[in-house]
Amino acid sequence: MLELVKLEEPAEHVKKLTLNRPKAANALSKQLLAEINEALGEVEKNKNTRCLIITGSGGKAFCAGADLKERAGMTEQEVVETVTLIGDTIHRVEQIEVPTIAVLNGVAFGGGLELALACDLRLSSNAAKMGLTETSLGIIPGAGGTQRLSRLIGLGKAKEMIFTAKPITCETARSIGLIEYAYDQTIVQEEALALAERIANNAPIALRQAKKAIHQGYQTDIETGLQIEKKCYQTTIPTKDRLEGLQAFKEKRKPIYRGE
């Protein structure tokens, strides 16, 4: 029974995972992490899902990162184990086959921003602030932040954010490419759902293969990347969805994709 996470289906083929610890700024406690993994397992098993939204409850925080109150009572070994659990959970988010959208309804610090970085797209409230603040606490980003942030916004800006530990505004985040969209708090969830539905209207096998080609290709040289793209493209050729797309185009109607 999920208590700290809400998993809903706000639209056909769209799942929404909400971190539900608003009084604790949706901080990543061990129990919350366990429930995130349980919810992710449900998403992975459901082949009807074509897009996943991840957000936080309340209007103040997407996720403030690790639960520092919980961590204060841990031994060094327990800290290592918990950091590993956070990293593994965020990596699992990144590895989900369907497109993912992080909706930053409020602040995203430390592990919270690292969670958003593992998603494919990021939408933010205009009032949200975000940052990798770990060096101000005597540690470094340990759940992929040093790697994913630099790949997303470039070395210089990533180093600036991590070295200074200074939060940035939504406006700055958008200007450096950290987020794709920014909306007023009153409509950010609505806009995220509209984007998710737009994605989910497309062929599910094609969506998964496109994400695979982008992710795997980005980590290698262009020639290898082109071969990865070719292999992913070939996976779509024998599908019924490809034929449906062609037929719908010919008949000037909306295609009905079934993931076959």
Q: How far is CA 227 from the centre of its chain?
A: 26
Active site residues: 66, 111, 114, 134
Three-class secondary structure assignment of the chain: CCCCEEEEEEECCEEEEEECCHHHCCCECHHHHHHHHHHHHHHHHCCCCCEEEEEECCCCEEECCECHHHHCCCCHHHHHHHHHHHHHHHHHHHHCCCCEEEEECCEEECHHHHHHHCCCEEEEECCCEEECCHHHHCCCCCCCHHHHHHHHHCHHHHHHHHHHCCCEEHHHHHHCCCCCEEECCCCHHHHHHHHHHHHHCCCHHHHHHHHHHHHHHHCCCHHHHHHHHHHHHHHHCCCHHHHHHHHHHHHCCCCCCCCC
CA distances 42 to 17, 36, 134, 191, 260, Å, are: 11, 10, 31, 24, 21
Where on the phi/psi map is residue 75: left (φ > 0), alpha (ψ -120 to 50), or beta?
beta
Q: How far apart are CA 39 and CA 52, in angstroms?
A: 11
